[in-house]
Structure 1
Amino acid sequence: MATRVRPNSKRCVVIGGSGFLGRHLVEKLLDRGYSVSVFDIRQSYELPGVTFLQGDLCDKQALLTALKNVSLVFHCASPAPSSDDRTLFERVNVQGTKTAIEACIEAGVQKMVLTSSASVVYDGTDIKNGSEDLQYATKPIDYYTQTKIQQEKLVLEACDKHKGFLTVAIRPHGIFGPRDPQLVPIMVDTARRGKMKFIIGDGSNVVDFTYVDNVVHGHILAAERLRPDSPICGKAYHITNDEPVRFWDFMSELLVGLGYDAPRFHLPYFLVYGLALLLWLLTWILSPVFSIKTTFTPMRVALAGTHHYYSCERAKEHLGYKPVVSLKEGIARTLESYPHLRKGA
C-alpha cells in the first residue's frame, strides 16, 4: 500500500497571486521562508523561487496539479469590485471557490485562508465599529458583495463539513498601497477630468482604509494560528489599520500629495444617491438595447457618503493582530510609489 506524502507545512499556493494583494502576500511569504507557488489566470510578474501556474479556477485538474504536496492555500482571487460583470463574479467567486475547496480536499490540503471583504456585512447604511457578529448584508450593494457573501459562507462551512480541512476568512476594508490598480489611479483619473471637486454629504463620515502590508500581516497570522484546537477555525476576522478616518480627509490627503486640488464643494447625500439610483435604473432598463456602463452608481455614492468602519478586537485577541504600518506611513509610501500620477507628470 502506497504511503501518502505528508504536505510540507511551509509549502503554500496563493490563488490569485498575480493580483495587487496577492503579489504583496507572495513577497512577504518568501521573506518568511515559505515555498510559494502562484495559481492564476495570468502571470503579471516574475520572482526568483516562485513557481507560476496559469489556469482557470474552475478547472479542478489544473488546481490539483498546483496543489500537489501543499499544506496551505491562500485564496485571493476575485474580479475587481468595480467590474459590473455578474457572470464573471458568479464564475470566479462562487463556482471557482467551490472547485477550489473540492480540489483542496482531494489533494489533502490542510488549511485555506480566504480573502473576503468587510463589505459582506455592509448594505449601504452606516456601520460604526462593526464587529464580526453583524449579519450578512440582506441587500448587498453590488454583485461583488453578493458573491463574496456566498464565497465566504462556502469556505467557512467547509471547516465543519470536512474533517482535517481548516478554514478562516480575512475581511479587509479599503485596501491601498503601492501597485494598487484601483483606488489611486481611478481617483487621479477622476481628478484629471475635473470631477473631484465635490464632497458627497457634509464630509464627516468616517471609514477604514487599510494599508496592504497590514492585510498581508493578517493573512499570515491567521494561517500560522489555524490549528484543529484553535478558536479561529471557521471564523471571519476584520483586518483594518485600526485608525478610522474621515473619508474625504483621506481622499484629499492623497490628491493634494499628488499635486491636485482637494474637493471643496458639498452636495447633499440623498440628492446624489437618488440621481445615481435613477441613472442605474435607466441603465438597467436600456441594457437589452444599449451597452451602457457608468461609474456613477448608488454603491459608490454610499461608500463615499456613509460611515463604515470596523472593530479589530477579535483579530487582536485571536490572531495577535496589530497593524505593522501606520496610516500616515502607508499614505507616504503610497504617494511615493506613484510619481507617474503626479499632476504634470
Structure 2
Amino acid sequence: LVVLHPQSNKRCLVIGGSGFLGRHLVEKLLDRGYSVSVFDICQNDELPSVTFHQGDLCDKQALLSALKDVSLVFHCASPAPASDNRELFERVNIQGTSTVIQACKEAGVQKMVLTSSASVVFEGKDIKNGKESLPYAKKPIDYYTQTKIMQEKLVLEACDRESGFLTVAIRPHGIFGPRDPQLVPILVDTACRGKMKFIIGDGTNLVDFTFVENVVHGHVLAAERLKADSSVCGKAYHITNDEPIRFWDFMSEILVGLGYPAPRYHLPYLFVYGLALLLWMLALLLRPLISFKPTFTPMRVALAGTHHYYSCDRAKDDMGYTPVVSLKEGIKRTVESYPHLRRGA
C-alpha cells in the first residue's frame, strides 16, 4: 500500500529521468508516494509504475504529450560536463530548456525545479563558502558552465506568481554515488592507465562533493516548499554535503577503497594549468586537421587545484535542508557499489 504524501496527489514529470541523478530522483519520488513519469532521449531501465516518454527536449509536441495532467516538473537533463560539444550544450541546456518552459506554461504546469550547477559562479579561482549572492561567472571556463548560466537565468526569470508558474533552481556540486557513470569509472580508468600518481598543487584545496541522495533530498524539499507565498520562488540554492574535503583526499579514499594506490607526487598548479591551456589551444587550432582531446583541460585542472566549496545556509533557512547521508557513509556506499571496478576484479 502506497501512502500518498499530502502534497503529492498530482503527477510529476522528471525530464532526464533515465540519467544518473534523474533515476535516483525518480526512485525517491516513488518512495514518497508521487505519481511519476519520465521524459528522456533514451530509456535505460524500466521501472514498474513509471510511464516513460521518449523524445527530444526541443520537440514541444512530444513534451506537451508527456505533460498532460502534470503539475510538477523536475528538469535534470543535461549533457555530461566532460563533453566539449558546444552545439549539444546549446541545444539541450538553452534551446531545450526554453522549449520546456513554453510547454510547461501551455500545459498548465504549476511548478518547475531545475538541476543547475554550483559551477555557474566558478571562474577557475578559489571560492570558499560561496553564497548564492556571488555573481554569475563572467568568464565561464567551459561550454557546460556557459550554457548552465543561461539555462538557470531562463528558468528563474520564468517564475511568475501571478500566472501560477513557479520555478526554483538547485545548484549541486560534485555529485557522486552508486551508478554514477562519470566520476568513479573515469577515476578508475585513469588509475589503470597509470595516470593517477600526481597531485596538482599542494593538495590542501577544499572542495564540496555531494552524495546523490542529498542532491535528491534538496530537489524534493524545493518542490514541496515551492508555493506562491514562499520565499523559495525564483531563487537558486546550493545543495552540498556541507562537509568540504581536500580534493585529493576524496580521490584517494575512492581509489584506495577500490584497491588502487593514492596519488603521491606533487606538480605545481600554475605549471599544470599553463600546460593544459596550451594543449587546449593547440587542440582548437588543429581541429580542422587533426582531432585529439587532451586529458587535462584547464577546467579539470582548476577543479582539481583550487578551493571551491559552497554555503548551504540559504537552503537550511528557506527549506529546512540538512544532508541525509554523511560524506563518510556516502563514500563507503559508493565504493561498495562498484565491485566490478575493484582492482583485480
TM-score using structure 1 length:
0.97
| Amino acid corresponding to residue 272 of structure 2 in structure 1 | V
Counting only pairs closer than 5 Å after superposition, residues 72-151 of structure 1 correspond to structure 2 as 72-151=72-151
Matched pairs, number? 339
Distance of 1:113 and 1:299 partners within structure 2? 27
Paired position in structure 2 for 1:45? 45
1:201-220 matches, within 5 Å, as: 201-220=201-220
Can you give the 5+ residue segments of structure 1 that lack an aligned partner in the other structure? 1-6
Separation (CA, whole Å) in 2 of partners of 1:110 and 1:335: 39
Contact 1:71 1:108 in 2 (8 A): yes
> Residues 38, 248 of structure 1: CA spacing in aligned structure 2 closer, same or farther, 3 A cutoff?
same
**Partner secondary structure for residue 94 of structure 1:** helix
8 Å CA contact retained: 2:128, 2:310: yes
Partner residue, 1:317: 317
SS of 2:282's partner is helix
Distance 1:167 1:289 in 2: 45
Residues 330-341 of structure 1 aligned to structure 2 (within 5 Å): 330-341=330-341
Mapped partners of 2:119, 2:106: distance in 1: 31
Contact 1:8 1:70 in 2 (8 A): no
> What percent identity do the matched residue pairs reach?
81
Secondary structure of 2:199's aligned partner? strand
The Cα of 1:294 is off from its aligned counterpart by 2.2
* Alpha-carbon separation, structure 1, partners of 2:152 and 2:165: 15
Match in the other structure for 1:228? 228
Tell me the alpha carbon deviations over residues 79-103 of structure 1, each in whole angstroms, 9 at most, x when there is no partner.
0000110000000000000000000
**Structure 1 residues 8 and 197: alpha-carbon distance in aligned structure 2, compared to 1, 3 A threshold:** closer
Equivalence for 1:192 = 192
- Inter-partner Cα distance in structure 2 for 1:248 and 1:20: 23
User: What 5-or-longer segments of structure 2 have no aligned partner?
Assistant: 1-6
Residue 292 of structure 1 and its aligned partner are, at CA, apart by 2.0
1:74·1:112 contact (CA, 8 Å) conserved in 2? yes
Change (3 A) 1:196 1:337: same
Q: Answer whether contact 2:203 2:246 (CA < 8 A) is retained.
A: yes
Q: Cα deviations across residues 107-137 of structure 1 (Å, max 9, x unaligned)?
A: 0000000000000000000000000000000
Contact 1:205 1:307 (C-alpha < 8 Å) held by counterparts: yes
Letter in 1 for 2:145: T
Cα distance per residue 1:24-58 (max 9 Å; x no partner): 00000000000000000000011110011000000
Greater shift in the superposed pair: 201-210 or 282-291: 282-291
Aligned residue in 2 for 1:4: none
Relative to the length of structure 2, the TM-score reads 0.97
The residue matched to 1:159 in structure 2 has which SS? coil
Contact 2:8 2:34 in 1 (8 A): no
Seen in structure 2, the aligned counterparts of structure 1 residues 285 and 171 have a Cα distance that, compared at 3 Å, is same
The list of structure 1 runs, each at least 4 consecutive aligned residues, that deviate by more than 6 angstroms after superposition, is: none
Distance 1:42 1:341 in 2: 25
